[in-house]
């Protein structure tokens, strides 16, 4: 019960955080079309994470996708920072995405086996 409430709270928080990226699509701080494109994916994911709050068990695969894609994104960005391909200013984003991925994996609803009749 506590785990499900924590998951729902985290889904709301992450969903709203990703949804806030819509502002940066409309009023970007700099001209970078790839940044806008990436944000459009996160904004869309934010909407679906907010919809998943009602029944997280039913949306287990969406939660897993959000977790693992966040970890993949953090891993790639971390590698790029390590190789000096992108600025070290990106490290807070790397850490945030890694934390999001880990928290979602830890709180993810267990797999429910279908009832045998």
Give me 101's structure tokens.
Answer: 């991925």
Q: For all residues of the chain together, what is the average pLDDT? A: 92
8 band by pLDDT with thresholds 50, 70 and 90: very high
Going 56 to 60 to 66 to 70, the CA torsion angle's sign is: positive
Asked if residue 52 lies in contact with residue 16, where contact means CB atoms within 8 angstroms, the answer is no
Q: Which is it for the CA torsion 23, 26, 32, 38, positive or negative?
A: positive
Question: Is 117's pLDDT higher than 80?
Answer: no
Q: pTM higher than 0.85, yes or no?
A: yes
Phi and psi angles of residue 116, each rounded to the nearest 5 degrees, phi first: -90, 125
Ranges of beta strands (E only) in 2-117 are: none
Residues of the chain above pLDDT 70, percent: 100
Domain ranges within the chain, ordered by starting residue: 2-107
User: Quick one: pLDDT band at residue 96, thresholds 50, 70, 90?
Assistant: very high
| pLDDT tens-digit readout, 18-64 | 999 888 877 777 777 888 888 899 999 999 999 999 999 999 999 99
Q: Is the pLDDT of residue 76 over 90?
A: yes
Question: CA dihedral defined by 107, 41, 70, 63, rounded to 10 degrees?
Answer: 20
């Amino acid at each position: 019960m506590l785990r499900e409430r924590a998951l729902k709270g985290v889904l709301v928080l992450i969903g709203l955080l990703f949804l806030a990226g819509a502002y940066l699509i409309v009023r970007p701080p700099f001209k970078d079309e790839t940044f806008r494109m990436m944000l459009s994916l996160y904004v869309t994911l934010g909407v679906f994470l907010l919809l998943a709050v009602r029944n997280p068990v039913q949306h287990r695969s969406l939660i897993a996708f959000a977790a693992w894609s966040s970890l993949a994104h953090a891993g790639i960005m971390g590698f790029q920072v390590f190789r000096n391909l992108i600025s070290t200013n990106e490290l807070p984003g790397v850490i945030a995405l890694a934390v999001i991925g880990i928290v979602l994996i830890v709180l993810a609803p267990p797999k429910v086996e279908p009832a045998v009749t």
